Chain A
Amino acid sequence: GNSVTQMEGPVTLSEEAFLTINCTYTATGYPSLFWYVQYPGEGLQLLLKATKADDKGSNKGFEATYRKETTSFHLEKGSVQVSDSAVYFCALSARSNYQLIWGAGTKLIIKP
């Protein structure tokens, strides 16, 4: 079946450090891939998306590239800020039934 695996957290970085959060997936066909972010006490917000192989999604300085050959969609940011502290979820849509399949989430802590 379809599944998403994310690196476990928490990930703790200093401000202005480079961020990578790994995400790999298993799916039949050609899923759409997403990163969502959940700030403390808030709902899930769509951060970025990619719908086909080699697409790069980007938003707010975050980027992720849809790599079909490695079935990966790693999240990166060149210089993190304290305000980026949140839980980040990788998800896929298999399109056939519209539900999103989620990773367990990675808590990111940025220290000033």
Chain B
Amino acid sequence: DTGVSQDPRHKITKRGQNVTFRCDPISEHNRLYWYRQTLGQGPEFLTYFQNEAQLEKSRLLSDRFSAERPKGSFSTLEIQRTEQGDSAMYLCASSPSGGTSYEQYFGPGTRLTVT
């Protein structure tokens, strides 16, 4: 049984560059979520998908952030024109549809450092 995987685990980039992160959810999960976590804080919700549909994106931090899940399986999060304030851990989670508990299962995260 494989859990949620994220790639890369670490990314160092220069200010102004674009970066893209990938998330592969647990295979039978059709909901996928992106969060951002900064040091000493809880995760901050960014967006989520049910299958390929992006059902909530108003929390994306700016128009430099975008996410896709083209075939309802893996997802990508892109940050354009990175800024130093984008340095954080980017977390992906997935959950099954249905059920009543609403728990989410997290990947190891991608740590972004913008220099």
Q: Which residues of A contact B (CB under 8 A)?
A: 4, 32, 34, 36, 42-46, 49, 51, 89, 91, 93, 95, 97-105
Contacts and interface: CB of A to CB of B under 8 A. Distances in A.
Nearest to A94: B102
B41 A51 contact: no
A104 B101 contact: no
B29 to A, nearest CB: 12
A44 B42 CA distance: 10
A43 B37 CA distance: 11
Closest 3 CB pairs of A and B: A102-B42, A93-B102, A44-B106
B41 A100 contact: no
Contacts of B105: 46
Contacts of A4: 42
A98 B97 CA distance: 10
B108 A42 contact: yes
Contacts of A89: 42-43
Contacts of A93: 102-103
B42 A105 contact: yes
Given A98-B31, A99-B33, A99-B56, A43 B109 contact: yes
B62 interface: no
Contacts of B40: 104-105
Given A44-B43, A89-B42, A102-B42, A95 B107 contact: no
Contact of A104 (B42, B93, B102, B104): B42
Given A89-B42, A105-B41, A99 B48 contact: yes
Given A32-B101, A32-B103, A51-B101, A97 B42 contact: no
A104 B100 CA distance: 25
Interface in B49-67: 56, 59
B45 A43 contact: no
B65 to A, nearest CB: 16
